Structure 1
Amino acid sequence: MWLIRCSHFALVRFDGMISRYPWERPRYLILSHTWGAEEVAFSDMTNVEAAKRKKGWVKIEGICRVARGRNVDYAWVDTCCIDKSSSAELTESINSMYAYYREAWVCIAFLEDLKPGEDLPTEEQLGRCRWFTRGWTLQELIAPEKVWFYDTDWKFRCDTLEVLEAIQSITNIDRRVLALERRPLDDISVAQKMSWAAGRTTTRIEDRAYSLLGIFGVNMPLIYGEGQGAFRRLQEAILQQINDLSIFAWEEPSPSDVLCGVLAPRPEAFSGAGTIELMDDPNVPIPSFTVTNAAVEMSTFLGIHYGGTSPMMVPETGDRLLHLRFRA
């Protein structure tokens, strides 16, 4: 992991930093933002004077200024702290991104389209910010312990707790996920977490899946160019680690005559699944899944009905084991 030393804008590498004990890690701020023109890249940091001529330098300078004001020596910015010329480093960074944000001292959310002001921003003002529409910023809102919002002039406006109700309304994320005493993500259904990503966009279509890896606690190799196949692979990775039937609780917003398998084609298919909760009943058997290149095979006890495109578990007493095979 590369960090910016805020005193003189030099990149410093800390190998295996996320696996260290907390007291051994350097404190760092981490930036959450939306990409724009002339972002400062990893290679630009070898010539700081040239990098300063790029439009994106204002973000590097801004977060380093905030860090120095808080007696924090380091900062992390995704544009310049990942060597994207190395496929291995890019894969490691994206699979570790959630941990990077979780372990940061504070996440600085730079809302470049939030106009300056002295009062707390309103729900309407926040809702107009592009930051709330992007795919990567979803995990950047959820993972950190603290998120501070800054406006276009790099002035502090609020933290998450001060505008919790507004953020819940804008994002449909359960406020308990963002509160001080946080609800663990493992207690939330796959379908509900998928619903948070519905409507969010990314520049690369594959990033719609890759930006969700940390939220589901899974890892997978990056294959840019695979298109929608990335979202299918994400669901397969989830099935291999999480026994949660709600992953099938999707419905295409615009149904068509094109046949598809049991896995959702895109996050929008979960847009209506925001209220689906995990069943907390020890008497209901947990299904087991096997994912192959052709099908999803499931073993569960009887109690299945079909609604729309997705099979759902219905609690029912009985001891007959049912084996189901769905085209993936």
Structure 2
Amino acid sequence: MRALVCSALDGTSVGPGELDRPEPGPDEVLIEVAAAGVNFADTLIVRGQYQEKPEPPFAPGLELSGTVARIGDGVSTVAPGQRVMALTGLGAFAEYAVARQSDLFPLPDEMDFETAAGFAVTYGTAHGALRWHADLQPGETLMVHGAAGGVGLAAVECGKAMGARVIASAGGPEKLQVARDHGADDTIDYRREDLKTRMRDLTDGRGVDVVFDPVGGPVFEASLRATAWGGRLVVIGFAAGEVQQIPANILLVKNVSVHGMYWGSNRKMAPDRLAAQFAELFAWYKAGRIKPYVSKSYPLEQGAQALADLRGRKTAGKVVIRP
């Protein structure tokens, strides 16, 4: 089958090729892929910089949408021909992929394949960070960094759906407009404004209640000093390329808590969480409270370019690959 193949963990050995079509084992499902979401984690996996280091050759791709082609022994929740969204961990950038039954979610009739392809990881991460870890409450102020990216934009929308006031930071007026279009109440251009000062100014010196941070480095450090007493910061990733060291004395003095959020680990450690999570997210989607933004769709032959554009921060919202 055709696939986007990573042949070495060097970040450059990625391109269209051929792999054997997988077969579903017990409790597994073979899916004909309609579209696959591109995530920052994919750019790390092909460089050997992710938590998990698969052995090449392989097809990257954490999530997909498509149609059930075959089911393995013991599968009872879906049937051939059914439209689904799935988490794969690897393998989504291909014509066919296998997913565990527990990682499949039947699609609402209202959701198209491109939207579904980029829905699970971004909205799952945003919702889990704000609902499970930050315990975001109506009326609180939420600071979202990287707000025009896939997971950041999802956090903006989830924050609004949960009743928060949302401040969004991004680089440049076009990306800030994307954040405003999806519900941000206020915005900060980190390229020309001082984050710490603006966060304090926008909260009349009080500071923000919750920080959603997929950027890290200096962005996290500025946020920590502009967080209100009793605030919560959720670490999503380190897109800036620097893993910050957290001064515990500030946490103590301000009664601040910092939470790490690796959403993918819930597939193994707390899979029951995901079904309830997507039930709420799908309800928000059907009610028009969240409106996923897919900015670009790439054919499989341009899959390497999709990864490069995402890593280079040249995209907004979500991008997908269509095999």
Structure 1-normalised TM-score?
A: 0.25
Structure having the larger proportion of residues in strand: 2
Q: Say which one has the larger Rg.
A: 1
Name the structure, 1 or 2, with higher relative contact order (CA <8 Å, separation 6+): 2
